[in-house]
Amino acid sequence: MLVWQDMINGSERKDIILHGALAIAGIHLKDHRYWLFGRRDSNGRREYERELAEMLKHLNNVVSINTWVPFNEAWGQFDAKRICNEVAEQDPTRLIDHASGWSDQKVGHYHSRHIYFTKVRFRSKAAKKRILALTEFGGYSLPVEDHMFDPNKVFGYKKFQDTDRYQEAVERLYREEILPAIDRGLAVLVYTQLSDVEDEINGFLTYDRKVMKMDVNRMQTINALLNQAFDSQQRQSSEVGD
């Protein structure tokens, strides 16, 4: 299993939805404007960098880690270009997703997007200089009685009450939006998410890991189609390179 290791982030602001809305519109604010990202406190920024360096050193020998993620969805993001360069200097062996999902500063190895409320659409040019990565998508929720951490908290990006409709929607998402995106250069997929957590009911598995909400055979068929699409894209890229 390959692991993308996030750095823990703090923020003085709670209205980070602004950055998500701007990202949907294709607008990515420069993160030297600390107040827009909840990072006015210079002591907090220094503490972040100290702890980031400690994390990189502490986890350096964990061979499953293939990507470092300094910032996620603009939470306390600041100076990501410089931070990205410093992470690369400390560990030149791994990839870097410098600002996962939102507020891209056009550095690192990934053009990283989180897409939930709109259609999954990419332009081919986005894959020319960096790895085109859909690092969060899906998030469809299906509550299963007696298998939730808290029945009063049911969060998901699209909610279903019927198993058949839920499974059909997941399959349709992959067939109609993800597979065409691979033809345009999409190289990374991270579905939200493997299992339910405390207040998010958008996993393929329930919180207690006892109920599989997504049909296994259906998911295997989808994975086979994804592998075929990725293989085809790789062959095309090799032919262009030759």
Helix (H), strand (E), coil (C) string for 162-195: CHHHHHHHHHHHHHHHHHHHHHCCEEEEEEECCE
Task: Assess whether 70 and 151 both reside in one domain.
Answer: no
Q: Which of 42, 69, 99 is the last residue of a domain?
A: 99
Beta bridge partners of 132: 111, 186
* In-domain check, residue 44: yes
Task: Assess whether 79 and 180 both reside in one domain.
Answer: no
* In-domain check, residue 76: yes
Average pLDDT taken over every residue of the chain: 92
The count of residues in the chain is 242
Q: Quick one: pLDDT at residue 15?
A: 67
* In-domain check, residue 104: no
More confident residue, 17 or 77: 77
pTM of the model: 0.91
Structural domain for 49, as ranges: 1-99
Domain count, the chain: 2
Asked whether the predicted pLDDT for residue 240 surpasses 80, the reply is no
Q: Quick one: pLDDT at residue 169?
A: 97
Task: Assess whether 3 and 74 both reside in one domain.
Answer: yes
Q: Which of 46, 78, 99 is the last residue of a domain?
A: 99
Reported as a pLDDT band with limits 50, 70 and 90, residue 23 is confident
Q: Quick one: pLDDT at residue 235?
A: 82
Reported as a pLDDT band with limits 50, 70 and 90, residue 223 is very high
Closest CA to 217 of 149, 171, 158, 148: 171
Reported as a pLDDT band with limits 50, 70 and 90, residue 158 is very high
Asked whether the predicted pLDDT for residue 242 surpasses 70, the reply is no
Q: Quick one: pLDDT at residue 233?
A: 83
Task: Assess whether 121 and 75 both reside in one domain.
Answer: no
Q: Which of 99, 117, 147 is the last residue of a domain?
A: 99
Task: Assess whether 150 and 63 both reside in one domain.
Answer: no
* In-domain check, residue 232: yes
Task: Assess whether 79 and 113 both reside in one domain.
Answer: no
Task: Assess whether 178 and 222 both reside in one domain.
Answer: yes
Task: Assess whether 129 and 241 both reside in one domain.
Answer: yes
Asked whether the predicted pLDDT for residue 36 surpasses 80, the reply is yes
Reported as a pLDDT band with limits 50, 70 and 90, residue 163 is very high
Euclidean distance between CA atoms 168 and 179, whole angstroms: 16
Task: Assess whether 73 and 126 both reside in one domain.
Answer: no
Task: Assess whether 224 and 180 both reside in one domain.
Answer: yes
Task: Assess whether 114 and 95 both reside in one domain.
Answer: no
Reported as a pLDDT band with limits 50, 70 and 90, residue 25 is confident
Convert the pLDDT of each residue in 178-196 to its tens digit.
Answer: 999 998 889 999 999 999 9
Euclidean distance between CA atoms 213 and 71, whole angstroms: 31
